[in-house]
Structure 1
Amino acid sequence: MPLPNGYSINAASSDESEDAERLIETVSVPPQCCSARLNLAVLMFFGFSVVYGLRVNLSVAMVAMVNNTDPKPWENHSVVPAACPRSSGAENTSDTFQQPDGVPQYPWDSETQGWLLGAFFFGYLCTQIPGGYLSGHYGGKLFLGLGVLGTAALTVLTPLAARMGSYWLFALRALEGFGEGVTYPAMMAMWARWAPPLERSRLMTLSGSGGNFGAFLALPLTGYICQALGWPAVFYLFGGAGCLWAVFWFSLVSDDPRTHPRISKEEKDYIINAIGPQGTGHGWSVPVLSMLLSVPLWAIIVTQMCANWSYYTLLTSLPSYMNNILHFDLQSNGFLSALPYLGAWLVSTLSGVVADKLIEKKVLSVTNVRKLFTLIGQILPAVFLVLVSYSGCSHILTVTFLTLSTTIGGTSASGVFINQIDIAPRYAGFLLGITNTFGTIPGIVAPIATGYFTEDNTLAGWRKVFWVSAGIGVCGAIVFTIFGSGELQPWAVTEEERAETDKRRSGSISQ
């Protein structure tokens, strides 16, 4: 739908500067405070907080579930002790950690733990594309809500699956990933209908930053619950929180501003006019061949795979590093493993505001904003990961560099991670399904690779983990800087937009 000035913000053009001019045309913007679109972002924020809590709680709980914290296993098995010596400090008491009476522990080796931590992503990649496609057609409310609810319900069964054996736990985690795989594509499909172009960065980074906030809360909270109540309580409590969130989600959210019962007319008109024809469902047919041949789309795919390698490595394996190498007790382990995600949450949210301002004030084009934030969010974190690998047994340096790496990595949230909605808003959910499918592969491979690299629990093995993560991250930054784009792609332009563009051009020629 056209703006009052006669054209849509998302209309295609043959010139990037013309796109930039059109994008930042002044419109009457209703206040964001207490608006329906901000309320949606907040609900999504808490939804993804729950999602990441359900995803990462096993990373910390694994330390309590596995009985290698008892000194006896070191005597009974030919395992090389960790490189860093245990001191008498209060924070270095991982070998004295005990579970409450009656709570089982399991003899899973490093390789088995790697497979269990990566199991989630085997299921997660299967539903990304179908979830994005169906969300783009029907709307994302149902898929996002059921994704969280289903994962939460399955999480409650984790203690039962663990008692039945590692294969059952692997299958359960894979099934959880299968349910959760639709959540991010559904989010993107909803924002394609709800987020005005000049507010995309801040709304999407606010909602998506719930993942980092969830990791920040879940990691230390899991450690505390494990010590106070035993590790099974972790999965019961987190699963219950997900079910409670689903009640609010299904009660308060609508797929589209047109159908929202409590939105003001001013806000509804603003959103519909600002987004234009791109804010409608894409129907059953999508230009798959054109997508497959799209260089900007492949730039997103490659870069997200590279960025996710280091992210998932730390997300799933950092608690093991804190325990096996630095010997932090479980509560300290959870808190220090969570600290980087507090910084990432704050930086990613702030980056969304800054990115929108740069675009709105015409300081940089959408393309250059996405490239700049991706470059910062990939190169600097890689540098700090390399520094971690040479920090040795220094607790202070290791925690500082890990925190800086993940914190600065939060700037990528306003870069490559929301770029799908720039190049094709109408197909954003489907595109995110594609890019997240590829981006999930590191979630499978990285924990397994970490398990092989660190089989002996030595600093040398972990140095390989950090160097590989840093190198892959730099490669992703280079690819996106060269091939990335923030322009609306020709294959994403609707017939209505083409007609509007032709009409406008005809008018300018006649003048």
Structure 2
Amino acid sequence: MSTGADLKAREGDIPSDNMTQEQSFKKGFCSLRHGLAFILHLCNFSIYTQQMNLSFAITAMVNTTVASSQLNASTERPPTNSQDVWNETLQESKAPVYDWTPEIQGILLSSLSYGSFIAPIPTGYVAGVFGAKYVVGLGLLISSVLTLFIPLAADAGVALLIVLRVIQGMAQVMVLTGQYSLWAKWAPPQERSQLITIAASGSMLGTFLVLIAGGLICQALGWPYIFYIFGGIGCACCLLWFPLVYDDPQNHPFISTGERRYITCSLAQESGILSALPFMFGCVCIILGGLLADFLLSRKILRLVTIRKLFTAVGVLASSGILLPLPWVRSSRSTTMAFLVLSSVFASLCDSGALINFLDIAPRYAGFLKGLLQVFSYLAGGIAPTVAGFFISQDSEFGWRNVFFLAAAIDVVGLLFYLIFSRAEVQDWAKEPTFTHL
């Protein structure tokens, strides 16, 4: 018969062992949740390369030499500038070229976003009902396979290519939004920033690689290979995704008992729906903000440059001002969520302001400037968690207050710079070259 001292000793041993085991899963990257982050890193890498590849390939796909000859009667002379040399090199390649007008090119480049307007909300709902694993995996597979078929669709006709791109855009939204349903069940709150930024950094790497290698691939191998290479990479990621990724730790066959217990315990009282609310409202308000901006412009109520500056100013100042009181309302969960939702709503106005201003000043280089914008945005997303961690480690009580103050200061400085120097007309350096008859 056990004595009281023996029972006390046994009761003390169990929590000690569990605590030691759980502490071991709080450190290092040798865990399934970090493995999930790296697989999602590859998925985001693939999606962003597939988003941007047409922006680079379209330069090689369009028969710019023929278009120029219709305007210039002296095009039979040898090429005299780098653009002519580039066009001549493309003509010598075996890849087909098309006589697409600038209007058609613009529709093709924007068609990827058409399906994105209605896809995020139903995608998030479907991911919550049927499981994010299959929603994200199916989206990646569809987008990658359609990327492989873009050269064939281009040969078949513009209409088919536009339809393909719209479907591809919806599939990519499945990946970009559905993955957050996974983090609601896999990411402990104290590691959420770390895990999500590891996954999100794949988008920055994909953007960087396309900017560096896209033109070289088109010139050296032909424009179809930019779709074959990045579409093939996406298909290879699917081979990792389906066998290795599961919707939650409880159903994963390879997870250790200690890591499962650690994740489950750390997520008690957490809600993925609450975390997604700011993004859901922000998504809707992006569309409403765009409609309002177009209304003000079409009725000539405000000039285009005034619209861009007004929407940016309201978005930056309102969202920053709403975030500043957050450290003092942490006792009320509902108030905190209301503040986060309102901040996301106002921040979405910037999508009708500064975030699309590059189309006004340099439509000729829209693809390149969008890629450059994404590089800087994800660079900031990678730096922000590190800075936040530094402030919190220095002062656990006022760390978040300092984070919000610093973010608001950066926003205001950037806004002032934008209000002073922003323009809304095509700049001289971005105008199309003009040809005159001799």
Question: TM-score, length-normalised on structure 1?
Answer: 0.58
Higher helix share: 2
Report if aligned partners of 2:67, 2:99 keep a CA contact under 8 Å in 1.
Answer: no
Equivalent position of 2:54 in the other structure: 58
Equivalent position of 1:393 in the other structure: none
Once the two structures are aligned, what percentage of the paired residues are identical?
A: 32
- Distance change (3 Å), C-alpha of 1:367 and 1:267: farther
The Cα shift of 1:343 comes to 5.5
Cα deviations by residue, 1:239-270 (Å, 9 ceiling, x for unpaired): 11111100101111121122222223332222
Check if 1:74 corresponds to 2:68.
yes
The Cα shift of 1:91 comes to 9.5
Check if 1:277 corresponds to 2:277.
no
Equivalent position of 2:414 in the other structure: 380
Check if 1:303 corresponds to 2:344.
no
SS of the residue corresponding to residue 268 of structure 2 reads: helix
The Cα shift of 1:387 comes to 6.1
Count, aligned residues:
345
1:69-468 equivalence runs, <5 A: 70=65, 73-77=67-71, 94=86, 96-278=88-270, 294=338, 296-304=340-348, 306-307=350-351, 320-321=364-365, 345-359=378-392, 361-362=395-396, 364=398, 366=400, 369=403, 372-373=406-407, 376=410, 380=414, 383=417, 458-459=428-429
- Distance change (3 Å), C-alpha of 1:378 and 1:48: farther
Structure number with greater CO (CA < 8 Å, separation at least 6) is 1
The whole-number CA distance in structure 2 between the counterparts of 1:75 and 1:100 is 17
The whole-number CA distance in structure 2 between the counterparts of 1:241 and 1:317 is 34
Cα deviations by residue, 1:9-37 (Å, 9 ceiling, x for unpaired): xxxxxxxxxxxxxxxxxx94621321111
Cα deviations by residue, 1:125-174 (Å, 9 ceiling, x for unpaired): 22211111122334311111111111011111111221222222211110
- Distance change (3 Å), C-alpha of 1:102 and 1:92: closer
The Cα shift of 1:302 comes to 3.7
- Distance change (3 Å), C-alpha of 1:276 and 1:238: same
Letter paired with 1:183: V
Letter paired with 2:340: P
The whole-number CA distance in structure 2 between the counterparts of 1:87 and 1:102 is 23
SS of the residue corresponding to residue 254 of structure 2 reads: coil
Question: TM-score, length-normalised on structure 2?
Answer: 0.66
- Distance change (3 Å), C-alpha of 1:277 and 1:259: farther
Check if 1:49 corresponds to 2:40.
no
Cα deviations by residue, 1:291-343 (Å, 9 ceiling, x for unpaired): 999563243144145258655776999894299xxxxxxxxxx7x98666556
- Distance change (3 Å), C-alpha of 1:239 and 1:378: farther
Cα deviations by residue, 1:189-219 (Å, 9 ceiling, x for unpaired): 1111122222222221221121111111123
Cα deviations by residue, 1:108-131 (Å, 9 ceiling, x for unpaired): 233322221110011122221111
TM-align CA RMSD: 4.0
- Distance change (3 Å), C-alpha of 1:269 and 1:375: farther
The whole-number CA distance in structure 1 between the counterparts of 2:345 and 2:129 is 22
Report if aligned partners of 1:203, 1:352 keep a CA contact under 8 Å in 2.
Answer: no
5+ residue gaps, structure 1, are 1-26, 79-85, 283-287, 324-333, 390-449, 463-511
Cα deviations by residue, 1:279-302 (Å, 9 ceiling, x for unpaired): 5789xxxxx99x999563243144
SS of the residue corresponding to residue 276 of structure 1 reads: coil
The Cα shift of 1:54 comes to 0.6
The whole-number CA distance in structure 2 between the counterparts of 1:108 and 1:379 is 42
Report if aligned partners of 1:138, 1:281 keep a CA contact under 8 Å in 2.
Answer: no
Report if aligned partners of 2:362, 2:431 keep a CA contact under 8 Å in 1.
Answer: no
SS of the residue corresponding to residue 267 of structure 2 reads: helix
Greater Rg, structure 1 or structure 2? 2
5+ residue gaps, structure 2, are 1-21, 73-78, 275-279, 286-336, 433-438
The Cα shift of 1:459 comes to 3.8
The whole-number CA distance in structure 2 between the counterparts of 1:104 and 1:171 is 20
Letter paired with 2:32: A
Letter paired with 2:67: P
Comparing 223-232 with 98-107, greater Cα deviation is found at 98-107
Letter paired with 1:358: F
SS of the residue corresponding to residue 145 of structure 1 reads: helix
Report if aligned partners of 1:193, 1:275 keep a CA contact under 8 Å in 2.
Answer: yes
The whole-number CA distance in structure 2 between the counterparts of 1:124 and 1:213 is 22
SS of the residue corresponding to residue 157 of structure 1 reads: helix
- Distance change (3 Å), C-alpha of 1:185 and 1:460: closer
